[in-house]
Structure 1
């Protein structure tokens, strides 16, 4: 009897052996298809990532995805396959076709995991027809004109934050700048967009009352790439079994603030909820959109301002250079004085702070929607998920020498290069770039100007190295970015 006949007769006689054999053959054919036959089989990447999305989910969950993928680019080049149907791209030449040209490719389905209370938001929706009327209704509030008209109240937020920083510095000899800049960010967002100051800076607790609310949404990013049904089960389980009283209290605080805001707002009022109500949205959806704004406006901007404060404290020479520029400009008469966003060194500090901050380190995934997408001669087929990450773009040593060093001078003429400008990705790019970038940029300029001009950072020294979980929004391990002063004289 031949071997083939023996195996055939054995499988008939033993159903268990037959089942195991067919399972083995299925898995083998599945692996061969993923590795050698799949439409993106020609793009390099880790063996396990080609087989299963679990590799990507794991690194996203533990918060080292951006670092690991950045290392893979050093090994494989600008195109890396990070899951069976996902390509991470570190080449800035990809930004225009993916995010800008013809409106860019559509957002990947995983953005639905950032919906709030069953509602799509201006950020999370993948449907441009859904987003367009909502964004159009509120975009004027983010304009340079609107922000300029509200400059006085916004500067009031900055001055209260500086006063609080001086108070804590004098009393404790230490300041958690992340908590203060988060407090400032929610105050600035609410002042500009809700016309009602949240007054986070006035809170006397160690942690901003909405921090647990914000941190919960940040932590959603660890599950960003999961299919929505699996994500929903995990979200339910987390809330059911891992929730705590502080988080519940923080959610209640935000709920009450949003409820009170809507009670005072009517359709047609010139604020964020009023403009959304005027296009016929339900109060339930408007409240969800307001909560999304509170989360997004607090987290990234707070992280960016705190990073700039820390870097200036760590580089006294750059701090003094900036202070001299601001002082010289302030001494000029009103006809000669420059707008702060025109000051060269301040602008360089802000841009370098955004480059190194990593408030949003991971890729912004999109779905290829054309059949002939080529990048430097490599074909990336339709329906592939692609994306660029600020982490890899901002830390490319070929474009930014000594990428981890804080060097504002790299953004001054004649040092700045076209490649640096193309690679700058702090706000995303195209028509789905951050809708609040004008407001966030203004906050960065105003806050940095006020902090530096006040001299509050004189003598500051930094604390331990800041480590982050590299989720969609980064999360600082330990929850603090602290500065210290020697108050003994």
Structure 2
């Protein structure tokens, strides 16, 4: 302590100390005055602290309340909000088309590079359209309705194994439905895209073996907005300090699974996911990375959406099944068929008359409401304003500004969705406004929207059908609130969503 005090005294006695201190103070005042009054974004409303430094945004991103804090600020400052010296968050759905859709949308922000894996860019993380295009074109056919339909029996097999596991596990009185839904998600994505089932649902023990692997990439979202070099140093330090045996083991399990896939893959434009990527000339190392990225994305978001659906149906049993006595008092609830009745009626029809489940009215409303409320990806999808600039609501946003919309602000806007936090599938059945449709942002938008959205949606429909018809959820309760860290990919606090029988 005396040594430190002595060093501080020596510094203070240096002839350069006070001049440097004065210059630093002047530069700080200049920075603050410039950012508040003269910066190209000075006309955009927002808190002063966000104008001065990105540290405010990085802090809220790290602690996981970014989406909520920014949504509350929209109530104060309006739909166009400055959230850092160079970044603007927009809660107006009119911004979706120009930012993400028209003419291919604005370029993705550099911070997506923080989701690179093992030094390789992925179809998701790359900001270069020329890099993405051949890779996406090689595999996009696997996500088509036709390809998914051809693999329907195998996908239903995955779902049926999950329902059977739930039937068995609920006898213990408590089930982590998030873990089980993640297990189904990784089985479905591996079965359809890799032609090899990961068999997560069949694993013995508690937590899915891939969970720690997935959670590690989810945690990247804490640092999503950091400059890439700073992120890489922080990631390295975090891994050294916080790495544990469970995470290392999970990575080894996934690595072994992926290595086997790629080693066995036959290059073919009509083959499985790794085979198609090998066919267009990608190295085995990169193909492994692309497969890991798919396992992460396909497990996390779909698992969260599916678990949310299960929990909401448990919390709102009248949405899918009403006992006869309750029906007598709730006749108006049957303006639209409850989910159980709709599915049961459809399945009892002659084979030639059975409808595709995605055409069933109430089931579709349940799926859409699940995706609205789930918040698998709650935060902003940042892109960069091109050289031409961007005008919205008579506000000019200059070139180079990072702009984006978030699912949280769009999906929980009470002016568009009354009682926004309530699970109301009925809102999608009558008086559906154009603003409701344009505000729906579960998959992003444009040619950079989630490439696997057809498969992920199909999984939700199939899971809902089998879970409801089996009536395995009846009698379940969900105790307490589910809170999330609002990172790029949300993370459930406590890492589980429990149902109790």
Please indicate the TM-score interval, normalised by the length of the shorter structure: over 0.9
Name the structure 1 match of 2:188: 188
Instruction: Report the CA distance between 1:397 and its aligned residue.
Output: 0.3
> How far apart in 1 are the matches of 2:479 and 2:143?
35
Q: How does 1:38-53 map to 2 (within 5 A)?
A: 38-53=39-54
Q: Aligned match of 1:363 in 376, 380, 384?
A: 380
Query: Residues 382-393 of structure 1: matches in 2 within 5 Å?
Result: 382-393=399-410
Q: CA deviation at 1:372?
A: 3.8
Q: CA deviation at 1:16?
A: 3.2
1:259-338 matches, within 5 Å, as 259-268=259-268, 270-320=271-321, 321-338=338-355
Please give the alpha-carbon distance, in whole angstroms, between the structure 2 residues aligned to 1:239 and 1:287: 21
Distance 1:349 1:15 in 2: 68
Counterpart of 2:82?
A: 81
For residues 229 and 87 of structure 1, the distance between their equivalents in structure 2, rounded to whole angstroms, comes to 22
* CA distance in structure 1 between the partners assigned to 2:17 and 2:129 by the alignment: 52
Per-residue CA distance 1:253-281 (angstroms, 9 max, x = gap): 00000011112112116100000000110
**Aligned equivalent of 2:92:** 91
Question: Does 2:249 align with 1:233?
Answer: no
Query: In the alignment, what sits opposite 1:454?
Result: 470
CA distance in 2, matches of 1:133, 1:37: 43
Question: Which residue in 2 is equivalent to 1:376?
Answer: 393
Measure how far apart 1:32 and its partner are: 1.1
SS of 1:462 mapped into structure 2: coil
Structure 1 residue 14, shift from structure 2 partner = 5.9
2:489 corresponding residue in structure 1? 473
Shift of 1:25: 1.3
> 2:480 matched to which residue of 1?
464
Q: Which whole-Å CA distance do the structure 1 matches of 2:153 and 2:85 have between them? A: 52
Task: Give the whole-Å Cα distance in 1 for the aligned partners of 2:211 and 2:31.
Answer: 45
Matched, 1:439 2:439: no
Summarize the alignment of residues 193-212 of structure 1 with structure 2, pairs less than 5 Å apart. Answer: 193-212=193-212
Scaled by the length of structure 1, what TM-score is found? Answer: 0.95
Matched, 1:408 2:421: no
Deviation string, structure 1 residues 411-435 (Cα, Å, up to 9, x no partner): 00x3211100000000000000000
Counterparts of 2:282 and 2:500, CA distance in 1:
48
Cα distance in 2 for partners of 1:15, 1:180 equals: 63
SS in structure 2 of the partner of residue 379 of structure 1: strand
2-side partners of 1:422 and 1:370: how far apart? 26
SS at match of 1:396: coil
Question: Corresponding residue for 1:351?
Answer: 368
Instruction: Identify the residue that residue 3 of structure 1 maps to in structure 2.
Output: none
- 2:17 and 2:291 map into 1 onto residues whose CA distance is 57
Residue 34 of structure 1 is matched in structure 2 by 35
C-alpha distance after superposition, 1:37-77 (max 9, x if no partner): 11111011111110000000000000000000000001110
Match of residue 10 from structure 1: none
Flag as ranges the 4+ runs of structure 1 deviating above 4 A: none
The answer to whether the 8 A contact 1:463-1:481 is kept is no
Structure 1, unmatched stretches of 5+, are 1-12
Say whether the 8 Å CA contact 1:409–1:415 is kept in structure 2: no
- TM-score using structure 2 length: 0.93
Q: Deviations over 1:180-234 (max 9, x none)?
A: 1000000000011000011000012110000000000000000000011110011
Q: Counterpart in 2 of 1:4?
A: none
Aligned to 1:132: 133
| Maintained 8 Å contact 1:313/1:319 | no
Aligned to 2:157: 156
**SS of 2:353 mapped into structure 1:** coil
Q: Partners of 1:247 and 1:277 in 2: how far apart?
A: 29
Q: Distance in 2 between matches of 1:370 and 1:175?
A: 52
| Cα distance, 1:463 vs structure 2 | 2.1
CA contact (8 A) 1:105 1:367 kept: yes
- Does the 8 A contact of 1:360 with 1:474 survive in 2? yes
SS in 1 for 2:118: coil
